[in-house]
Structure 1
Amino acid sequence: MTDPRRLLPAVDALLAAPDVAALARVHPRSLVVRAVRETLEAARANSGATPAEGWGPAVRACLERLAAPSFVPVINATGVVLHTNLGRAPLAATALAAMHRIAAGYASLEYDVGRGSRGSRQRHCRDLLVELTGAEDALVVNNAAGALLVALSALARGGEAVVSRGELVEIGGSFRIPDILARSGTELVEVGATNRTHRADYEAALTPGTRLLLKVHRSNFQVTGFTAEVPAREIAALARERRLASLYDLGSGLLVDLSPWGLAGEPGVRDALASGVDLVAFSGDKLLGGPQAGILVGTATALIACKNDPIARAVRADKLTLAALEATLALYRDPEAARREIPVLRMLTTDPAELRQAAEALARGVGHGSEVIAGESEVGGGSFPGAKLQTWLVQLAANRLTADDLAARLRGRDPPVVARIQDDRVVLDPRTILPGQFEVLGGAVRAALDG
């Protein structure tokens, strides 16, 4: 008996078929060839069975899948404001406009228009950062780990950096502070215990090879109970006494006080600098609400060393990052405007009563027995660990579907809807749903429930 796989058409034969040849007239031939090969391979894996829909439609479906971008907008209905897997901070409208304005043509990235000569890309954000934080100088690189790497290389390469064992954090993606220290050419010296570290521990660890005292804010976890840590101001004072450099890895980069909205305990950038450390490092795309960036602020002497370090060139920020960051920082000149215009701040400070209204409107639009229930949102992104924000959720009635099946259907919509599962039910949190997305979301949920 002949193996059906031997009867499959050749690639050239399929390419010559009228409906497939028509695809090659509107799509790159290389992509059509790939779609044909993958369609044939799928049939071969299926014991040589001809696609039920026919070769032409099967190739077209494969082609559409191959041509579709994998990087797409999604609706974040999880209630996690700084969702790392979903890109963290959505940008303010002015930041988006600035990126478009700069990306559309040539720009004064490293050109001084007034002088008609080469300029520095750092000047676009430097003055704003100095103004907003009270620092003497500032440096922007492409991510927070890069900022830490530059600072360690510039201030401690070839020497020792002393850090508490309780602050040797993993920052996500399996990247850990000790790994970054090693890559910077700095030797790690651990002091204290996981839960308790004292000034005397730092003092006892100092040697002629010590170059830097490092303070790391535990932004993505909490240590409670029998604990003790050395405040940044004492770290800075000890560093000055021993003529050492000091660095505070802050993480989130908070520029406004969020305690009126129940979010307290996260050190702000100004407070960190006021402790007297030489450098503070933080992210652009967490609580600051801007693009992914690593930011260093501090003394002029420390920043000169950082700017002159070769690693700073390797991790420099691109023009779109700088455009978005400059526009975001400009909003902070008016804290109330920042709270209104920067999506992350707006989400974190939305009144629960507004969220209830939004949830009720969404539930009415969805129908299908949806209910509004009280719940909690999370800040996410390694910020305010353990903090819960009061919210109102739309709980979907999945009927015969499991929660996992319904969540998968929602992710299969265009745009994909990322919900969360709580107590074996799919829930939607309006806190992280952007204005203008509610109508689309309602339609997507109805379609998923109707199946």
Structure 2
Amino acid sequence: MNESHTDPGAQRIPQVDKMLRHPLIISLKNDYRHEVLSEVTRRVLANYRSPDGAKVPENLDDIAAEIESRLKKLRTGSLRKVINGTGIILSTNLGRAPLPQTTVDRLSEILLGYSNLEVNLQNGKRGERMTALTELLSMLTGCDSAIVVNNNAAAVVLAVSALSNKKEVIISRGELIEIGGSFRLPDVIESAGGILKEVGTTNRTRASDYQKALNNSTGMILKCHRSNFEISGFTETAKTADLVKLGKSHKIPIVEDLGSGALIDYSKFGMKYEPTVAEVISEGVDLVMFSADKLMGGSQAGIICGNSELVKKLRDHPMYRALRADKLTIAVLEQVLCQYLQLAPEKSVSVMQLATKSASELKSRAANFLAKAKIPHQYNVELIETRSAFGGGTLPGQSLESFGLAISVAGGTESKRSPDKLLTMLRSADPPIIAIIQDDKVVIDFRTIMPHDEELLLSSLEKLPTLPTNSNANCF
């Protein structure tokens, strides 16, 4: 009989049953189900067998401690608070728009119990979950009606399915965008049952191009705002007013994917002009779709507003049932939209607060922070000027003057001076600190440091030498 080759390291890996009899694991049986204890133990031991796995500890106590640590992390969940030091206001990786404090406070009250999601409290009969949101959106945008789905891509899918199934969707070649995760607008349209009809060229599309493409198979004209890239130079874009006139004369709906969804003109704060939802609706566009978690500053959702007859067609479509927003999303959006009823929403909507902070204010905050910080002597920290960005496919090319801290390691070996190593250490802090590298230094941009997080940041920077350099320190 042939003897199979056995990895000497694998012989030291204990059996699952043996680990389940360890005193520490036995003590956990009152907190965790047996099958959970067994499965987590199997996974920890399997990791040691993996070619890329960690070295097997000599002591069973260390293995048991790792099993306990894995269980605690599973129990508390992986989604956690982080400190955003990237300077990117709408970082998709970091959850995009932070919510206003007033919204969070109100949500805890609503979500701890039951709510009147679909109950009319005046007559006691079944109500419509979109009633309050529709009223708010009509006031803020001038729309007749509105619905909410789980994201803006879903809004496009629903609009195409309801209005242009097996019909042509006319769109400019210069607006065939690709969004995050390698999803492309042509694929989204075709997956929803629409037939893509490209017109114009990448840099120049006229209203006459749309007119020539109209036929008995046309379902809708889709205009897609280029919110995540720019085209400059020899360009031309069809005017919305001309497309609206064209749509009315041929009874073809004009639908605009506005993307970022600004409810306030950001140019009055010294930023690039971005058309607001109200401006687009006032031009006569039949339906406008936009993301709620970008410039609006809400949670992930796709908002569709405009002509009441067309909105009803979308609401009555079977797909809407699968895509409609739940009570959590509706509660968040209601509370965020309420902030826009105030005289100065930039003072309460978190995204606007972050975007409108002056460079001088940020410089003062960073300088005061540095003055009181007791940074360990082996680290060099200096105040620097930086450039912040919106991110999240919003306001392309727009950067904001900002200030932050640049951190580097003094002396030591090349590996210990590595900024990548320092980034890893910051991510292992509690809460994790997400920073960037510029000019071989780790940079923390103060534009995206929330004021209430400064003490947490200060504590972590003062404890830098004690932070783990293991990239798995905060991972499952």
Give the TM-score taking structure 1 as reference length.
0.95
Distance 1:347 1:205, change over 3 A: same
Check if 1:346 corresponds to 2:353: yes
1:400-435 deviations in whole A, cap 9, x for unaligned?
421111011111112111001112211011111112
Counterpart CA distance in 1 for 2:355 and 2:20 is 54
1:121 CA displacement? 0.7
Moved more, 227-236 or 42-51: 42-51
1:446 aligns with 462
Moved more, 7-16 or 150-159: 7-16
For 1:196-207, list aligned pairs within 5 A. Answer: 196-207=204-215
1:35 CA displacement? 3.5
Counterpart CA distance in 2 for 1:263 and 1:50 is 53
Answer yes or no: is the 8 Å Cα contact 1:83–1:381 preserved in 2.
Answer: yes
2:471 aligns with none
1:229 aligns with 237
For 1:129-140, list aligned pairs within 5 A. Answer: 129-140=137-148
1:116 aligns with 124
For 1:232-381, list aligned pairs within 5 A. Answer: 232-336=240-344, 338-364=345-371, 365=373, 367=375, 368-381=379-392
Give unpaired runs (5+ residues) of structure 2.
468-476
Answer yes or no: is the 8 Å Cα contact 1:32–1:63 preserved in 2.
Answer: no
Candidates 138, 159, 180, aligned match of 1:172: 180
* RMSD of aligned alpha carbons: 2.1
Amino acid at match of 1:435: P
2:444 aligns with 428
Distance 1:28 1:64, change over 3 A: farther
Answer yes or no: is the 8 Å Cα contact 1:362–1:394 preserved in 2.
Answer: no
Answer yes or no: is the 8 Å Cα contact 1:196–1:227 preserved in 2.
Answer: yes
Amino acid at match of 2:325: A
Distance 1:369 1:189, change over 3 A: same
Counterpart CA distance in 2 for 1:181 and 1:47 is 42
Counterpart CA distance in 2 for 1:179 and 1:43 is 42
Amino acid at match of 2:61: G
Distance 1:168 1:55, change over 3 A: same
1:407 aligns with 423
SS of the residue corresponding to residue 151 of structure 1 reads: helix
Counterpart CA distance in 2 for 1:72 and 1:155 is 40
2:474 aligns with none
Counterpart CA distance in 2 for 1:179 and 1:279 is 21
Amino acid at match of 2:444: L
SS of the residue corresponding to residue 219 of structure 2 reads: strand
Counterpart CA distance in 1 for 2:53 and 2:111 is 49
Answer yes or no: is the 8 Å Cα contact 1:31–1:63 preserved in 2.
Answer: no
Give the TM-score taking structure 2 as reference length.
0.90
Give unpaired runs (5+ residues) of structure 1.
none
Counterpart CA distance in 1 for 2:401 and 2:131 is 40
Counterpart CA distance in 2 for 1:410 and 1:4 is 32
Answer yes or no: is the 8 Å Cα contact 1:139–1:303 preserved in 2.
Answer: yes
Candidates 58, 63, 66, aligned match of 1:58: 63
1:182-235 deviations in whole A, cap 9, x for unaligned?
122111100011111111111111111112111100000000111111122221
1:338-380 deviations in whole A, cap 9, x for unaligned?
2111110000001111100111123231534311111110011
SS of the residue corresponding to residue 388 of structure 1 reads: strand
Q: How many pairs align?
A: 450
1:208 aligns with 216
Moved more, 64-73 or 25-34: 25-34
1:170 CA displacement? 0.9
Check if 1:396 corresponds to 2:411: no
Distance 1:190 1:21, change over 3 A: same
Moved more, 136-145 or 6-15: 6-15
Distance 1:60 1:247, change over 3 A: same
Distance 1:221 1:50, change over 3 A: closer
1:45 CA displacement? 5.1
